[in-house]
Amino acid sequence: MDKNIDPKVFAIVLNYNGQDCLVPCLDSLYQSDYANLEIVVVDNASKDGSLENAREKFPKIHFIKNSENVGFACGNNVAIRFALEKMADYVFLLNNDATVQIDTISNLVKEAEENPDLGMASPIILSADGNGVWFAGGKISWREMKTVHVPGSQEQNPYETEYVSGCAALIRKDVFGEIGLFDENFFLYYEDADLSCRATRAGFKLRMIPEALAHHAEKSEMVNKKKLYWLVLSGLIFFKKNSRGFNRIWSVFYLFLRKTKNRLNMLTSTSDKDVMIRKAFHDYKIFLRQNL
């Protein structure tokens, strides 16, 4: 593709202690056949030397270092603002534990340029070894109050999705101009679903692009109970914010049932799982009081 003609894309990689994965991620972006591409790494105060290592290997990349771990939404917003100030036409988000193929960004931009109403586009995201599908589209279950990855599709043409994963996503600049950036009330998880809901309500389309592929190797260092805490807390914030009509009524009833179950569990269970769920509900109540 021609750097002088193609829209300007800023690839944004949020890094936190990515010593084992950041360099392969950036290598894959460097090999992209999309010419008008700039890369930004925003680091959330890593302590493993991953930022310094990447700076040494990739001196032409833009690096931004946050003074503390500000989470996914806030960390990415820092880089998105930088990209928009540099006149980006598109932002391409990529997890530091993910990689793209040589034509991934080209295929995503091609689809977006042919469809002006396309606000967010995702590649099919495979597992690191390529033998499984990690994300082929997402659905929001308002009844169960959770987001789910749909099974791998055999569809060869672009198709709609209810939300786009922040693991690998092309986002048109107009989306940010219309609805703003990520909601920084989400520290981890559900910020991508929230942005997707807001984009959809603003009239933008969200699509999976089967011709575009990425690979994702989930990092395992996060303790399961810590992951559970953020999933529960962010999920509560998401469904409180985005439920409409009957779904809003249902969410109130569902939360009442969950709170009742939590109170009963307090009498009988001291498992790490139940302790973290109770903490998430406790912190959610604090969040509600602070955001009335």
Distance, in Å, from the CA atom of 277 to the CA atom of 20, rounded to the nearest integer, reads: 30
The class (CATH top level) of 9-216 is alpha beta
pLDDT at 246: 61
The per-residue pLDDT for range 257-288, each reduced to its tens digit, is: 665 555 555 556 567 777 787 788 888 888 88
Q: And the tokens for 140?
A: 């929001």
Cβ contact 136:150 at 8 Å: yes
Distance, in Å, from the CA atom of 187 to the CA atom of 185, rounded to the nearest integer, reads: 6
Residue ranges, the chain, pLDDT below 70: 1-4, 219-223, 245-270, 292
H helices, E strands: number in the chain: 9, 12
Q: Which of 57, 166, 66, 173 is nearest to 109 (CA)?
A: 173
Cβ contact 229:178 at 8 Å: no
Q: 191-201 vs 224-242: helix axis angle to the nearest 10?
A: 20
Distance, in Å, from the CA atom of 69 to the CA atom of 51, rounded to the nearest integer, reads: 13
Q: Which residue has the tokens 């080209």?
A: 106
pLDDT at 221: 45
pLDDT at 5: 83
pLDDT at 189: 96
Q: C-alpha distances in angstroms, 138 versus 63, 148, 208, 252?
A: 31, 6, 10, 24
Q: And the tokens for 85?
A: 């100030």
